[in-house]
Chains A and B, each alone.
Chain A
Amino acid sequence: MKGITGRIGVICALLVLIFTAFAWRLIYLQVLQHDYFSKLAAEKHESRKVIPAKRGRILDRNGEELAVNFPVRTITADGTHIQDPAALALLAAPYLDMKVEDLKAKFSTKRPYVVIKKGVAEEKAQAMVRAMDKARLHGLSLEEGAIRSYPNGEMLCHVLGFVDASGHGIDGIEKSLDEELAGQDGFRWIEHDRKGLEVVTYRGQEQLPEQGADVRLTIDMGLQAIVEDELEKKCREVHPAGAAAIFADPNTGEILAMASRPDFDPNKFNESQAEQRRNRVVTDMYEPGSVFKIVVASAALNEGIVNERTRIYCEDGLFHYGGKTIKDHHKAGEMNLGEILQYSSNIGSAKMSLMMKDQVYYDYVRAFGFGEKSGIPLQGEISGMVNPPRRWDGLTKTRMAFGQSVAVTPIQMIMAMASVANGGVLMKPRLILNRGEGSVAEPATSVRQVVKPETAKFIAAALQKVVSMQGTAPQAQIPGFNVAGKTGTAQKISPRGGYMEGRYTVSFAGFFPSDHPRLVGLVIVDDAKIGSEANYGGLVAAPVFREIGERAASYLGIARENSATTTIAQLSEKADTP
C-alpha cells in the first residue's frame, strides 16, 4: 500500500514539474518575451500600406482638362507566399507582357517585396488577379498608382511641364505648384494572413490621403489653339531657330495663351531635347529692338521733357554720335513724338534719351519691369539684363533707346506693352486662376503705376499710327478694329561679340481694340531662314499677330470698333502698291 502511495506521489510530482515547466514556458513566451515576439509577429503579418493621394488635375479657365491621371497598377511579389514559381510565371506572363523565364527567375525568391512591373493597365491587372484566384495561386499583389497624361500633347507643353516616374513635378506648373497638386499620401496599418490577404478585422491606425488640388489656369485653350496654330504655320514657312507668342488681358495681367517653339510632347518628355523643353517666354532674353522705343517715348513724355507737339530734328536719317553713326530707315528732318514711333526713328528715340538724366531714364526702364523677374509661376524665369548707369559707356543710353544694349524676356515685354494699353499700370502676370475647388481666386495684382494715364493714352494713340498704312506694321491691321502696336527688328548678338550679319530676332507687340484694350499680344520669331530684305518685325511677326487677333476677336466675341471692311487681301494690295 505504501509502495503504491509512493509511486502515485512520484507521478504527481512529475506532473507538477511538467506543468510547472509548461507554465514557466508560457510565462516566458507571453510575458517576459512579449515585446520580442509581438514585434516578430508584426514584422511577419503587419505592414504599413500607403494610400496614395491622387494628383490634382490642371484645368484651363473654362474647366478643360489639361493634365489628368491615368490609373495603373504596380505588380509586386511576396516570395514567402509563392509556392509554385513556374506555374505563377506561366499564368502571369501574358498579362504582364513579360517572358515566362524572366518572371520565373523573379518569382524564385524568398524576399517579401519584389517589384515585378510598373504601369500595368488596371484591366489587365484585375484580369490577372482573377486568373490567379481561379488557379489558386498566390504571392502577387497590386499597388495603386497613376501615370500623368496630357491629352493635348504638345499644346501648352512649356506651361504645363511634366512629372517624373515617381510623379513629382519636374518642369512648368507641375513643378512650381507641385505641393498643391501632389497632395499628401495616407496610410493604413494592416495585418495579412498566410496567403498574404488582408485580415480586415485587425485593421490598425489609418490616415486618409489628402487629395491633390485641381489647379485652374488663366489660359484659354480656345485661344491657345489659335495661337499654336498660327505660330506653327509661320514656323513652317520661315523655319526659325525659335519662336514664341503670348496673349494676355492687359487689364488684369491674365495670360490667356502662351506658346513657344520648338516644343515637345510632355507624355514622352524623355524623348525630347533640352532645347525643346525650354520655355522661351521666360527663360530667354533678347534685344527687343524698336519695340523698346515705347519706353523712352513714355519716359520723356511722362517727365514733361517732350510733349505731343515737340519736334525733334532727326538729322535726315544719319546721326553721328559718340564716334558711331545711327541710321533711320525712314529719312526725315523734324518729327514729333507720334511720328518717331510711327516711322520707328532710331535717331529721334536716341535724342529723346539724351534729353533725360541717366538715372531718370534707367528708373523708367526698371519701372516698366525690365531687369527684374515678373514673378510668373514658371520655372527658370530670368530677369533679363539692364545695366545701371554707372556701367554705361557713351553709347549705351542712345542704344537702349532703340532696344540695343539691353536684354529682355518676352514676358517682360508683353507686360510693358500691357501697361501702355491699360493706362500706365504694370500688372503682375497671372497664370493661376485658383488653386483647388473652393479656393479664393487669386486677384489681379498691379505692381506699380509706371506712367500717368494720359501719357499711356498718348503713346497708345501713337502706336495706332504704327499699324496704319504709313507705319511700319500695316500687316498687323485687323479689319474692324483699331490696333496699336510696335514692331521690333534686332540683329542677333554673336557669341564672339558684335552682331551676326543677316540674322535677326523680329517681333511685334500690340493690343486691340485700342480704345478699350481686351487683348495684348507679342509674337517673336528668332532667326527666320529668309532673306534680310524680308526679315522685319512688320513682315514676319505682325501678320501672325493679325491672324491670331482676327480669329481671337471672333472666338472671344470682341465687338468690332468700326465698320471698316478692309480685308487682308486689300491690305496686301495696298502694301504692294508703290
Chain B
Amino acid sequence: MKGNRRRATNAIEVHFLTRTIFFGFLIGFAALFFVYIKNQQHSVGNESRQVEAELHEYTARNEALMANITKMTSRGYLQRKLDEGYIRLSAVRDSSLESTNPAVIAQPDGLLRTASRDTAEASRRVLSR
C-alpha cells in the first residue's frame, strides 16, 4: 500500500508552472501595455487637438487684429477721422523731410515692418519711380 501511495503522489511541475505563469504575466503585461499605449495615444491626440484649437484661436485673433489695424489705418478711415477733427494734418517743409525706406505692409507672412532710414534704398526707390 505504501508503495502504491507513493506512486499516486502528483509531483508539482515547477518548471511548467513557472513557464505558464511567466507567459501568462507576459501576455497580461503586453495587453496592459497595449491598453496603456492606446490610452496615451488618445491622450496625446486630445492634447494635439487642444493645441490645434489654441493655435487656430490665436491665428484667428491675430487675423482679426490685423484686419482691424488695416481698417483703422486705411485712407478712408483716416480721412473720416480727419474730417471729424480727431486727427489733423500739419504742413511739413520739403527740407524737413527725411527720406525713409517705406514700411512694407501686407507681406505674405502677415508681419508689419516699420520704416527704416535706409537712405540708399530710399534714393533707389525715388529714382526708380
Q: Interface extent on A, as a size class? A: 20 to 34
**Inter-subunit contact A225/B106 (CB<8 Å):** no
**Inter-subunit contact B60/A65 (CB<8 Å):** no
A567 CB-CB contact with B under 8 Å: no
223-246 of chain A: CB within 8 A of chain B: 225
Q: Which of chain B's residues have a CB closer than 8 A to the CB of A199?
A: 42, 45
Number of A-B contacts (CB under 8 A): 77
A149 CB-CB contact with B under 8 Å: yes
**Inter-subunit contact B64/A64 (CB<8 Å):** no
Q: Which of chain B's residues have a CB closer than 8 A to the CB of A566?
A: none
A221 CB-CB contact with B under 8 Å: yes
Of B2-10, B12-20, B68-76, the one touching chain A: B68-76
**Inter-subunit contact B45/A151 (CB<8 Å):** no
**Inter-subunit contact B57/A126 (CB<8 Å):** yes
56-109 of chain A: CB within 8 A of chain B: 57, 59, 62-65, 68-71
112-158 of chain A: CB within 8 A of chain B: 121-123, 126, 144, 149, 151-155
Q: How many residues of B contact A (CB 8 A)?
A: 31
**Inter-subunit contact A151/B104 (CB<8 Å):** no
**Inter-subunit contact A152/B76 (CB<8 Å):** yes
Q: Mark B47-59, 1 if CB is under 8 A from A, else 0.
A: 0110000001100
**Inter-subunit contact A201/B106 (CB<8 Å):** no
Task: Give the shortest distance, in Å, between A519 (CB) and chain B (any CB).
Answer: 13
**Inter-subunit contact B75/A71 (CB<8 Å):** no
Task: Give the shortest distance, in Å, between A530 (CB) and chain B (any CB).
Answer: 26
CA distance A120 to B102 in the complex (A): 36
A197 CB-CB contact with B under 8 Å: yes
296-329 of chain A: CB within 8 A of chain B: none
501-555 of chain A: CB within 8 A of chain B: none
B105 CB-CB contact with A under 8 Å: yes
**Inter-subunit contact A121/B106 (CB<8 Å):** no
**Inter-subunit contact B75/A57 (CB<8 Å):** no
**Inter-subunit contact A557/B126 (CB<8 Å):** yes
**Inter-subunit contact B61/A122 (CB<8 Å):** yes
B63 CB-CB contact with A under 8 Å: yes
CA distance A400 to B66 in the complex (A): 53
A363 CB-CB contact with B under 8 Å: no
**Inter-subunit contact B76/A557 (CB<8 Å):** no
Q: Which of chain B's residues have a CB closer than 8 A to the CB of A155?
A: 75-76
A198 CB-CB contact with B under 8 Å: yes
CA distance A155 to B80 in the complex (A): 12
A274 CB-CB contact with B under 8 Å: no
Nearest CB to that of A438 among chain B residues? B108
Partner of B108, one of A122, A197, A198, A437: A437
Describe A's contact surface by its main secondary structure: mixed
**Inter-subunit contact B45/A64 (CB<8 Å):** no
**Inter-subunit contact B61/A152 (CB<8 Å):** no
Q: Which of chain A's residues have a CB closer than 8 A to the CB of B107?
A: 63
Nearest CB to that of A225 among chain B residues? B75
Nearest CB to that of A437 among chain B residues? B108
When A64-B105, A154-B76 are in contact, do A69 and B71 touch as well, CB less than 8 Å? no
**Inter-subunit contact B57/A200 (CB<8 Å):** no
Nearest CB to that of B71 among chain A residues? A151
**Inter-subunit contact A221/B67 (CB<8 Å):** no
Task: Give the shortest distance, in Å, between A150 (CB) and chain B (any CB).
Answer: 9
Q: Which of chain B's residues have a CB closer than 8 A to the CB of A57?
A: 106
CA distance A126 to B74 in the complex (A): 28
Partner of B67, one of A64, A68, A214: A68
Beyond A122-B64, A153-B76, A221-B75, list 11 extra A-B contacts (CB 8 Å). A63-B105, A64-B106, A68-B66, A69-B63, A122-B61, A151-B76, A155-B75, A198-B49, A200-B49, A214-B106, A225-B79
What are some 27 contacts across the A-B interface (CB < 8 A)? A63-B104, A63-B106, A64-B106, A65-B70, A65-B74, A65-B105, A68-B67, A70-B64, A70-B67, A71-B60, A71-B64, A123-B64, A126-B57, A144-B60, A149-B70, A151-B74, A152-B76, A153-B77, A155-B75, A197-B46, A200-B49, A201-B45, A214-B108, A225-B79, A437-B108, A556-B129, A557-B129
